[in-house]
Structure 1
Amino acid sequence: MIEKARSPSAVLLLACFWLSPASATTDYRIETFTEGLEYPWSMAFLPDGRMLVTERGGRLRIIAASGQLQEQAVGGLPEIYATSQAGLLDVVLDPEFEQNQRIFFSYSYGDRSANNTRLASARLVDGQLQDVKTLFTALPAKAGSSHYGGRIAFLPDNSLLLTLGDGFDYREQAQDLSNHLGKIVRINRDGSVPEDNPFVDVKDAAPEVYSYGHRNVQGIVYAPQLKRVYSHEHGPRGGDELNLIKPGVNYGWPLITYGVDYNGAQISPYTELPGLEQPLLQWTPSVAPSSLMLYSGSGFKYWKGDLFASTLAEKSVRRIRMKNGMLAGQEVLFEELDERIRGVFGGPDGNIYLLTDNAEGRVLKVIPTE
Structure 2
Amino acid sequence: MKKVIPTFIAVILLLGVSFTWSTCTMNTFNKTKASVLQEDRGDAEKYYSNYCASCHGKQVKAFVDREKWVYGSTRSEMFDVVKHGVEADGMPAYGEVLSDMQVYELVDYILAAIEDKKSADFNSGANEDVVFVSEGMRLRLELVADNITSPWAITQSQEGRLFYTETSGKLFSKKDSVIQEITGLPSVKYKGQGGLMDVILHPDFENNHLIYLSYSKPKPDDDGLATTAIFSGRLENNAITDGKDIFIAEPYLSTNLHYGSRMIFDNDGYLFVSIGERGRRDDNPQYLGNDLGKIHRLNDDGSVPVDNPFYNTPDARKSIYSYGHRNPQGLCYNPARNKIYDNEHGPKGGDEVNLIEPGNNYGWPVITYGINYIGTSITDLTHQEGMAQPIRYWVPSIATCGMDIVTSDKYPAWKGNILSGSLKFNYLHRDVFDENDVWLKEEKLFPEIGRMRSIEQCADGYIYFGVEAPGKIFRIVPV
Match of 1:169, SS state, is coil
Structure 1: how far apart are the matches of 2:458 and 2:316?
39
For residues 220-259 of structure 1, the aligned pairs below 5 Å read 220-259=331-370
Which residue in the other structure is 1:94 paired with? 202
Match of 1:174, SS state, is coil
Structure 2: how far apart are the matches of 1:98 and 1:322?
34
Q: 2:418 aligns with which of 283, 307, 317?
A: 307
Identify the range of structure 1 (106-115 vs 204-213) with the bigger mean alpha-carbon deviation: 106-115
Q: Which amino acid aligns with 1:98?
A: E
Structure 2: how far apart are the matches of 1:305 and 1:153?
17
Which residue in the other structure is 2:61 paired with? none
Which residue in the other structure is 1:218 paired with? 329
Q: Which amino acid aligns with 2:393?
A: Q
Which residue in the other structure is 1:105 paired with? 213
Match of 2:155, SS state, is strand
Which residue in the other structure is 2:474 paired with? 364
- TM-score normalised by L of structure 2: 0.70
Q: 2:445 aligns with which of 333, 336, 341?
A: 333
Higher share in strand: 1
Which residue in the other structure is 2:98 paired with? none
Checking the alignment, whether the CA contact within 8 Å between 2:186 and 2:231 is kept in structure 1 is no
Checking the alignment, whether the CA contact within 8 Å between 2:154 and 2:464 is kept in structure 1 is no
Q: Which amino acid aligns with 1:101?
A: H
1:349 to partner: Cα distance: 3.3
Match of 1:173, SS state, is coil
Which residue in the other structure is 2:395 paired with? 284
Structure 1: how far apart are the matches of 2:354 and 2:383?
14
For residues 157-306 of structure 1, the aligned pairs below 5 Å read 157-306=268-417
1:3 to partner: Cα distance: 4.4
Q: 1:136 aligns with which of 247, 253, 257?
A: 247
- TM-score normalised by L of structure 1: 0.90
1:320 aligns with 2:431: yes
Checking the alignment, whether the CA contact within 8 Å between 1:153 and 1:220 is kept in structure 2 is yes
Q: Which amino acid aligns with 2:426?
A: K
1:221 to partner: Cα distance: 1.3
Instruction: Kindly provide the CA deviation profile for residues 218-253 of structure 1, in whole angstroms up to 9, marking residues without a partner as x.
Output: 111121221211111000000000001111111000
Structure 2: how far apart are the matches of 1:31 and 1:110?
37
Structure 1: how far apart are the matches of 2:381 and 2:434?
31
Match of 2:140, SS state, is strand
Checking the alignment, whether the CA contact within 8 Å between 2:401 and 2:423 is kept in structure 1 is yes
Checking the alignment, whether the CA contact within 8 Å between 1:210 and 1:248 is kept in structure 2 is yes
Checking the alignment, whether the CA contact within 8 Å between 1:51 and 1:62 is kept in structure 2 is yes
Structure 2: how far apart are the matches of 1:352 and 1:222?
15
Which residue in the other structure is 1:148 paired with? 259
Structure 2: how far apart are the matches of 1:230 and 1:285?
21
Match of 2:412, SS state, is coil
Q: Which amino acid aligns with 2:425?
A: E
Identify the range of structure 1 (27-36 vs 94-103) with the bigger mean alpha-carbon deviation: 27-36
Checking the alignment, whether the CA contact within 8 Å between 1:237 and 1:285 is kept in structure 2 is yes
Structure 2: how far apart are the matches of 1:349 and 1:278?
34
1:26 to partner: Cα distance: 2.4
Where in structure 2 are there 5+ consecutive unaligned residues? 1-126
Checking the alignment, whether the CA contact within 8 Å between 1:171 and 1:182 is kept in structure 2 is no
Q: Which amino acid aligns with 2:217?
A: Y
1:76 aligns with 2:187: no
Where in structure 1 are there 5+ consecutive unaligned residues? 8-21
Structure 1: how far apart are the matches of 2:358 and 2:455?
26
Identify the range of structure 1 (167-176 vs 242-251) with the bigger mean alpha-carbon deviation: 167-176
1:153 to partner: Cα distance: 1.0
Q: Which amino acid aligns with 1:308?
A: L
Structure 1: how far apart are the matches of 2:403 and 2:382?
24
Higher share in helix: 2
Q: 2:157 aligns with which of 46, 57, 63?
A: 46
Match of 2:284, SS state, is helix
Q: Which amino acid aligns with 2:386?
A: G
Match of 1:113, SS state, is strand
Which residue in the other structure is 2:62 paired with? none
1:176 to partner: Cα distance: 0.4
Q: Which amino acid aligns with 1:47?
A: Q
Structure 2: how far apart are the matches of 1:65 and 1:290?
28
Which residue in the other structure is 1:16 paired with? none
1:40 to partner: Cα distance: 1.1
Structure 1: how far apart are the matches of 2:448 and 2:468?
15
